[in-house]
Amino acid sequence: MPSLSTPVPELLRRLVPVLALLLAVGCAEPPQIRSASSGETLTVQNGAVASTDAWSSQVGADVLVEGGNAVDAAIAVGFALAVTHPSAGNIGGGGFMVVRTPDGETTTFDFREKAPLASHPEMFLDEGGEFSAEVRHRSHISVGVPGTVAGFELAHERFGSTGWARLVEPSVQLASDGIEMTADLSNSIAGAVSRMEGRGYQASVEAFSRDGVPYEAGELWQQPDLARTLERIRDEGRDGFYRGETADLLVAEMERGGGIITHEDLEIYQAVERAPIEGTFLGYDVIGMGPPSSGGTAIVQMLNILEGFDLQAIGHNSPEYVHHVAEAMRLAFRDRAAHLADTDFAEVPLDRLTSKEYAEELRARIHPDVAGVSEVSDIELGVEAVETTHYSVIDSDGMAVAVTYTLEGGYGSHITVPGAGFLLNNEMGDFNAGPGITDESGLIGTEPNLARPEQRMLSSMSPTILARDGELVGVLGTPGGRTIINTVLQLVLNRTAFQMDPASVLQGPRFHHQWLPDRITMERDMATPELMSRLEEMGHTVETRTRQGAAHSILIDPETEARVGVPDPRIPDATAVGY
């Protein structure tokens, strides 16, 4: 600051930029924040957030308007969703963030949960040595060491431009002031509360209902314990979660319920910055998540296979198209089962799996109109959970962030940490069942993805960024267990091979094949009798489902560089907000 002894002309010269800024701030029109609900698209020139609800997208957009960058906004959205979207938004789970900076630098943050130190490959067997789905998916043993808070802190250290407390504060307010239940949220929570009651998780019943009576749509839902936990994270960063009161409460619940996470597990948890998996498709750059997610690898592998077919000529969602894409899915999911796991523990031939040469070999195995065969062997089929959440952020400079994070199943383990108000994941169920365990239902015991101390369980989450000739093209991702990989594949194909407009990219009906079980599942909207019977003639088994995914995405309009936010029309509360 100029001192009082500064000569007057010099003082004026130094004050000019300050006065100019004050004038600009005083006179500038406040930015027009706009939003689009499910079924609409948002077109804005600066920054945008697309997520599963309006509260969280608004929190992110506020950060952007104040000059925060896309990573800042993504962190604020992630904490907000931990309050407003308890089925998957979390601080007790984990996930992945993919970042592309305005100058094209790409990186990823891996905050996947880790196996506690007391883990071992046989941990999902009961006293009689039999595999127990109950232990693997619905017990205190199913809880992995959470990664979200450490992941957000690491991303903030690397890219943050807004103070940490400012990014956590909105979530504190949402939890303490409360939110008004939407119909969708109230339905979802009512289902969870009855499961929580059934399992005797009293702290969860208290957190998610009024003495066991679920909140109705329109009622105010406050989460005071969660607000206090978020305050500790706001004030102390990762130490507010991995140490002190939050850690004590978490470990006490583990001891009470027969879990194995200790103070040491929390203390040593580290999120990791990793290189992305990058591939090319028809001139586009595809930037995805590497292990411990299988997503980026499988998507690049399938795109490499499909690049050798004339997809335009085959025709979008024609029987021949579904056949060729499903065959690429079959081949990639076979390799996923055979090879993919946490590369800190297992050798994974990533270079080969993502190479154009290997894709050529695989492409040669695809018959033009006869379904391939999935040999029943070493693959885990397991329970397919239906909740995770994805959100997308682009800021005014063009920094892009894709985040997919989860508790694994909807509401994770359903265990709320008493006094801390947050749900714990059941991510340990993403490890293989146990060594050598193979049965008719498809459980397997291949080595790479067995539970071991500190290993991260294999994921399908696929936050993805597209670019072309150095320019950002879009931010994509979705929940949906193994269908995640195939939903993102189809979003990429819709935008690149078929040049669809953003709304159509998301609306287009989706299908899925995961090698085993050997069948195509497709959204009911696309399952015409003609399509199904032609695919069956080719030798495919075809089943239908209501919906596949919730892919809240943002695409760039190449002409105007506008950010076009598309909340997935399949999700009633999904919202994009921007300016």
Could you give the residue numbers annotated as active site?
A: 388
The single residue listed with the structure tokens 């509260």 is 55
388 binds ligand DON per the rule CB under 6 A = yes
Contact between 576 and 36 (Cβ < 8 Å): yes
Distances (CA, A) of 59 to 15, 65, 122, 183, 576: 34, 10, 43, 21, 11
CB of 428 to ligand DON, least distance (A): 10
385 binds ligand DON (CB under 6 A): yes
Q: Which is nearer to ligand DON, 334 or 363 (CB)?
A: 334
How far apart are the two ends of the chain, measured CA to CA in Å? 34
CB 299 within 8 A of CB 353: no
Residues 6+ apart with CB under 8 A from 74: 60, 97, 155, 391, 393, 401, 403
- Among positions 255-314, residues that touch ligand DON (CB under 6 A) are none
- Which is nearer to ligand DON, 47 or 412 (by Cβ)? 412
User: CB of residue 430 vs ligand DON: minimum separation in angstroms?
Assistant: 5
For residue 488 the two structure tokens come to 């993102």
Q: Name the residue nearer to ligand DON (CB basis): 142 or 460.
A: 460
Q: Quick check: 110 binds ligand DON (CB under 6 A)?
A: no
> Mask: binding to ligand DON, 344-383, rule CB under 6 A, as x and -?
----------------------------------------
What is the crossing angle of helices 164-177 and 70-84, to 10°? 20
Nearer to ligand DON, 136 or 232 (CB): 136
Polymer length of the chain? 579
Write down the least CB distance from residue 252 to ligand DON, Å. Answer: 26
Interface of this chain with ligand DON, residues 466 to 485, rule: CB under 6 A: 479-481, 484
CB 21 within 8 A of CB 31: no
Minimum distance of ligand DON from residue 385's CB (angstroms): 4
* Three-class SS state of 552: coil
| Minimum distance from residue 95 beta carbon to ligand DON (Å) | 8
Q: Please, what is the minimum distance in Å from the beta carbon of residue 135 to ligand DON?
A: 17
Rounded Cα gap, residues 480 and 548, in angstroms: 7
Q: Which of 91, 123, 247, 461 binds ligand DON (CB under 6 A)?
A: 461
Please choose, from the candidates 509, 506, 507, 487, the residue with its C-alpha nearest in 3D space to the C-alpha of residue 553.
506
Min. distance of Cβ 243 from ligand DON in angstroms?
26
Measured from the CB atom, is 262 or 388 closer to ligand DON?
388
Q: What's the rounded Cα separation, in Å, for the pair 332 and 544?
A: 22
CA distance 144 to 98: 22
Does residue number 98 form part of the binding site for ligand DON (CB under 6 A)?
no
Does residue 177 sit in helix, strand or coil? helix
Binder among 46, 459, 487, 494 for ligand DON (CB under 6 A):
459
For position 460 contacting ligand DON by CB under 6 A, the verdict is: yes
**DSSP structural state of residue 408:** S
SS3 253: helix
Find the angle CA(545)-CA(550)-CA(552) to the nearest 5 degrees.
Answer: 155
User: Looking at 58, 139, 229, 406, which residue binds ligand DON (CB under 6 A)?
Assistant: 406
Least Å from the CB of residue 52 to ligand DON: 11
**Of 252 and 381, which has the nearer Cβ to ligand DON?**
381
The residue among 408 and 523 lying less far from ligand DON, judged by its C-beta, is: 408
Whole-angstrom distance, CA of residue 82 vs CA of residue 92: 9
Residue with smaller CB distance to ligand DON, 279 or 409:
409
The phi and psi torsions of 517 (rounded to 5 degrees) equal -65, 150
Stretch that binds ligand DON, among 50-58, 174-182, 386-394, 442-450 (CB under 6 A): 386-394
Q: Side-chain half-sphere of 75: how many Cα atoms within 13 Å?
A: 31
Judged by CB under 6 A, the stretch of 35-43, 98-106, 330-338, 384-392 that binds ligand DON is: 384-392
Stretch that binds ligand DON, among 139-147, 217-225, 455-463, 496-504 (CB under 6 A): 455-463
Q: Is 108 a binder of ligand DON (CB under 6 A)? A: no
Site residues for ligand DON per CB under 6 A:
385-388, 406, 408, 427, 430, 459-461, 479-481, 484
